[in-house]
Amino acid sequence: MNNVRSGIMLVLIGFFLGFITYKKYSFFWDFFNTRLLRKYLGDDVTTIALYLVSSLLIIVGFLLSKGIVQ
* Overall domain count for the chain: 1
Taking only the tens place, the pLDDT of each residue in 3-47 is 899 999 999 999 999 999 999 999 998 999 999 999 999 999 999
Q: Which residues contact 68 (CB under 8 A, 6 or more apart)?
A: none
Largest distance between two CA atoms of the chain = 42
Provide the domain limits for residue 17.
2-66
SS3 letters across the chain: CHHHHHHHHHHHHHHHHHHHHHHCCHHHHCCHHHHHHHHHHCHHHHHHHHHHHHHHHHHHHHHHHHCCCC
- The predicted model scores a pTM of 0.88
Taking only the tens place, the pLDDT of each residue in 41-52 is 999 999 999 999
